[in-house]
Each structure stands twice: as structure tokens, then as C-alpha cells.
Structure 1
Amino acid sequence: MHQTILYARVSTTDQTAEHQLSHASKAGFEIDRVITDEGISGVSVPFRNRPEGKRLFDILRAGDVLVVRWVDRLGRNYDDVTTTIRAFMRKGVIIRTVINNFTFDGSTADPVQKAVRDALIAFMAATAQAQAEATKEAQKAGINHAKTDKTKYRGKKPSFDQATFIRVQEELTLGARSISDIARECGLSRQTVLRIRDNAQHAQAALERWRV
């Protein structure tokens, strides 16, 4: 009997496996089991080096379905993401994403469908890496700005912490949800999400000044 497993990578305190499972369930996925890697960076730790990620290759069989919130749960590096997806497809495992509801199936025989599938895998993997790099640059710029700001006035304390800031940026980069949806899910006002979108450097600088 085939199984559907949700893989949840949790790297920050505001991310939880329960949250990712809730997203999957609301999207209509029937999950048999949740496998979670906690405190794992998608940038510095390849999928096969993660305790639970490595175990998935032993657990999953041909015909099983691997569900992830988005491909960034598999990794934030182009080569790592594409290698991981192709390795699962060679095993006959079907990969599906909650966001955008994409399906990657190695059994596809039609050459045109294969070309579209492979192009989509490459695009999404590249987007995951670009997203991580953009977030890192915004953080770096905000930190530098805070360091060079010699005034004692810190301004209003941000209504979000570092983890929420990163999560908002991820959602904005994906572009799959509206500003209102992102605000509601992150517990922020719509105006706050818009400020983060329009000036991420300023938002990061505020976090640095307040050490939130």
C-alpha cells in the first residue's frame, strides 16, 4: 500500500511541523506520516546529510508520495535540490508541493512533458537559492545600516522578530499568497508586511537596533 509522507524542515522558532501539516491539510492533502528535521539550515546542510532526510530514502518506495510545503524545504541550493528531486524520481517516488500544487513524477514518458517537468524543477531550485541569497543580503545590509547609525534613537520597536521577518520575505518571494494572507498567517498587520516588502533593509536595521 502506497503512503503519503510530509517532509517538514524546521529551521527557526516560528516554523513548526504542525504549521506545515496544517497548510498541507487545508490544500487537500491526506498525509499518512510527518517526517521532520528540526533546527536544520536549508543552505548549509545538504538533504542527504540531514538525519530524517537521509532516512526518507530508506522509507519511501516506488509509488509513494513525498509532500513538501515548497522545494525550499528540500534545500536552498540549486544543485542539492535538483539532485534530491531526481534521486527520489529514480526510485519511483512522486514529489508534490503544497504551494502551487506542482507534481514531479519520474514515470512521465512523453518527451515534451519531461522537458516541461525538468525545466520547472530547474526553475524552482534556482528560485529557492535566489530567495535564500536575497534574504541573506537584506540581513547583511540591515546589520551594516544599524552599525553605522550613530543616533541613540531606536524608533518604534518592530512588531515582528527575526524569524517572522525571514518568513515574510520567503512568502513575498514565492508570490503565491496575497499580502493579506501573509499578514494573517504571520500575525502581522497588512501595513507591516508592505513595509517589509518595500524596504527590507530598513526592517532588518530596526531588528538590529532593538536586538529582536
Structure 2
Amino acid sequence: MTQTILYARVSTADQNIAHQTAQAQAAGFTIDHVVSDHGISGVNTRLAERPEGKRLFDLLRSGDVLVVRWVDRLGRNYEDVTDTIREFMRRGVIIKTVINSLTFDGATTDAMQAAVRDALIAFMAATAQAQAEATKEAQRAGIAAAKGDETRYKGKKPTYDRKSFVQVQDMLSTGAGASAIAKETGLMRQTILRIKADPAKAEASLSRWQL
């Protein structure tokens, strides 16, 4: 009997497993099991090395469906993500994303279709890693800017907190538009655009206000 498994991963306290589960259900998925890793970096820890991530390799069988909010939940390392998806496809597992409703499987025998599929997987994995690197750089720049401004006026308190900042960054990495992000987070569209234009400045503002 086939099963549908949601894999969720959170790397910080600002992210939420329940939110990822609710998103999947709202997208029409009937989830049989939720496998989740808490406080695990998708950059430094490969999926097969995570406490729960390694369970996926034992649980998933041919015909099963693996649901992820987006490929960055599998990881933010290009090599790890592409290797993982290809390994699951070789096993006959179908991978589906909540965001953008993408489906990856190894069923096609057409070389051109397989090439397009693999190119999309590679692009998404590269985007996940690039976003992780950009976020880390923004955090470093934000902390440095905050330290340099310790004796200065803090400026206007940001209308977003750390949780919504992380969520905005996360959605931007998937290519979501400012209007869609504003609707999801409750923030003003202009706030989204300011964060997108200068994430380091947004990070610095949070640090100055200790948010």
C-alpha cells in the first residue's frame, strides 16, 4: 500500500512544522505521516545524516509520494538536494512540492523530458543554496551594521519581527511575488519590497531593536 509522507524541516525557532503541515493540507495533500527535523541546518547537514531525514530512506518505497513545502526543506546544499531527489526517483518515489505544485518522478522514458526535469531540479537546488548563502551574508552584514550603530539613534522600529523576516526571505527564495508574500505574512507590500531590495539593512534594523 502506497503512502504520502510530508518531510518538514525547521532550522530556527522562528519556523514552524505545523505551518508546513497546514500548507500541505491546504494544497490538497492527504498526509499519512509527517517526518520532521527540528533545529537542523539544511546547509551543513545532509538529509541522510539528520535524525529524522535518514528515516525517509527506510520508509519510502516505490509508488510512495514525498511531499515537501519546497526543495529547500530537503536541504540547501546543491549536491545533497540533487543527489537525494535522483536517488528517490530511482527508487520509484514521486516527489511533490507544495509551492508551485511541481512533481518529480523517474517514470518518463523520453530523454528530452528527463533533461528538462533534471535541469529544473538543478536550478531549484542551486537557488536554495544561493538563498542560504545570501541570507547568511545579510545576517553578517546586519550584525556588523548594528554594532557600528550602537551609539546612534535606532531609527524607526521595523513593522516586521524576526519570524516574519525569515518567512519573507524564505518565500522570496522560491520566487514568490511581493503581493503574494504580503497576503501570506500580513505585512505591507512596500515592506516586502524594502526587505527584498536590502536584506542586510532589514537585518540590521532587527538587530538594533533586538528583535
Using structure 2 for the length normalisation, give the TM-score.
0.93
Task: Quote the offset at 1:44 in angstroms.
Answer: 1.2
Runs ≥4 residues deviating over 4 A: none
Task: Quote the offset at 1:38 in angstroms.
Answer: 1.0
Bigger mean CA deviation after superposition, 42-51 or 141-150? 141-150
> Which residue in 2 is equivalent to 1:189?
188
Verify the 8 A CA contact 1:12 1:163 in the aligned structure 2: no
Q: Deviations over 1:126-168 (max 9, x none)?
A: 0110111111111122222222225431112223333431221
Letter paired with 1:200: P
* Distance in 2, Cα, partners of 1:184 & 1:114: 35
* Distance in 2, Cα, partners of 1:124 & 1:160: 27
Matched residue SS, 1:96 = strand
> Which residue in 2 is equivalent to 1:5?
5
Verify the 8 A CA contact 2:6 2:35 in the aligned structure 1: yes
Task: Quote the offset at 1:53 in angstroms.
Answer: 0.7
* Distance in 2, Cα, partners of 1:13 & 1:188: 20
Verify the 8 A CA contact 1:92 1:106 in the aligned structure 2: yes
> Which residue in 2 is equivalent to 1:208?
207
**Matching of residue 37 in structure 1 with residue 17 in structure 2:** no
* Distance in 2, Cα, partners of 1:155 & 1:173: 28
* Distance in 2, Cα, partners of 1:183 & 1:14: 18
* Distance in 2, Cα, partners of 1:175 & 1:118: 19
* Distance in 1, Cα, partners of 2:173 & 2:38: 23
> Which residue in 1 is equivalent to 2:69?
69
**Identical counterparts, % of pairs:** 66
Q: 1:150 to 1:15 in 2, by over 3 A?
A: closer
Using structure 1 for the length normalisation, give the TM-score.
0.93
Letter paired with 2:144: N
Letter paired with 1:82: T
Verify the 8 A CA contact 1:8 1:69 in the aligned structure 2: yes
Q: Which runs of 5+ in 2 are unaligned?
A: none
Matched residue SS, 2:66 = strand
Q: Deviations over 1:181-207 (max 9, x none)?
A: 322322423332222122222111111
Q: Which runs of 5+ in 1 are unaligned?
A: none
> Which residue in 2 is equivalent to 1:98?
98
* Distance in 1, Cα, partners of 2:71 & 2:130: 13
Verify the 8 A CA contact 1:12 1:39 in the aligned structure 2: yes
Q: Deviations over 1:32-55 (max 9, x none)?
A: 121111111111111011111101
Matched residue SS, 1:5 = strand
* Distance in 2, Cα, partners of 1:186 & 1:12: 18
> Which residue in 2 is equivalent to 1:159?
159
Bigger mean CA deviation after superposition, 181-190 or 78-87? 181-190
Letter paired with 2:190: Q
> Which residue in 2 is equivalent to 1:50?
50
* Distance in 1, Cα, partners of 2:194 & 2:104: 35
> Which residue in 2 is equivalent to 1:85?
85
* Distance in 1, Cα, partners of 2:8 & 2:41: 12
> Which residue in 1 is equivalent to 2:123?
123
* Distance in 2, Cα, partners of 1:8 & 1:38: 9
CA RMSD of aligned residues (A): 1.6
Between Structure 1 and Structure 2, how many residues are aligned? Answer: 211
